[in-house]
Amino acid sequence: MRVATWNVNSIVPRLPRVLDWLEHTAPDVLCLQELKNTTEAFPVEPVRALGYEVAAYGLGRWNGVAIVSKVGLADVVRGLPGEPQFDGESQARAVGATCGGVRVWSVYVPNGREPENPHYAYKLEWLSALHGLVGTELSTDRPFAVLGDFNVAPDDADVWDIEAFAGSTHVTEPERAALTALREAGLSDVFPRPLKYDHPFTYWDYRAGNFPNNRGMRIDLVYANNAFAGAVRDAYVDREARKGKGPSDHAPIVVDLEL
């Protein structure tokens, strides 16, 4: 089984690239983030024409997530149990489904903006709700993974220059502690082995030179239980999908499993 995740930074303008990527990479399951449209407005038909079912969750703002699958789509859940709100409103940041016997959640963790911003506290509360979900999902032994844009770099080596991030989000101790808590709960990062790149960053700002000079961050992650992680035979960042005209600022992660 091939499972992938990709923050597409708006599904509508990125749709031609996503469809082409689905055809050529042929994942069985693709988790998407940052749709920037509503559940109802997700372009289901062109994706379905390629043989995929769709479970989308969007509220038309700067978030939105989806799972597309050609191996089944069951037990769909939109939103985390007990997730916090921001400014009194819910945000579409998580969707879960069972695909071919594998339980996956596509997540788009809040950015946090700056450590002093209320959005940062919201981010930490949201990660705590994710931790609660993980505990529930780990009560069974089926393959399970949380995939998506975590907006946290797990280690200093996961940013191009740690000095450039001093005092900013994505690398603070509380954020990284939240990832540590997920690992201690029973999940593991499917990286760093195997690797296809020395520095498998997944995000590069659009500013000139950041991508060709590999000034990036590894903030898109696949955290999995033992049944999933033990079945991984290959895992890589598809940098080719970040190239060309009109790309997302993120690249997909592709994970091949032998279940």
Catalytic one of 28, 52, 223, 250: 250
Catalytic one of 28, 122, 149, 220: 149
Q: Which of 175, 195, 169, 174 is nearest to 255 (CA)?
A: 195
Identify the sign of the CA torsion 227, 220, 25, 137: positive
DSSP assignment, residue 250? B
Catalytic one of 28, 52, 57, 108: 108
Is 34 labeled as ligand-binding? yes
Is 250 labeled as ligand-binding? yes
**149 belongs to the catalytic site:** yes
DSSP assignment, residue 246? S
Is 158 labeled as ligand-binding? no
Burial grade of 185 (CB within 10 A; 0-12, 13-18, 19 or more):
middle
Is 63 labeled as ligand-binding? no
**120 belongs to the catalytic site:** no
**170 belongs to the catalytic site:** no
CA–CA distance, 152 with 196 (Å, rounded to integer): 21
Assess contact for 118 and 107: CB atoms under 8 A.
Answer: no
Is 7 labeled as ligand-binding? yes
Annotated binding site: 7, 34, 149, 151, 249-250
Instruction: Please list the active-site residues.
Output: 108, 149, 250
Annotated binding site for Mg(2+): 7, 34, 149, 151, 249-250
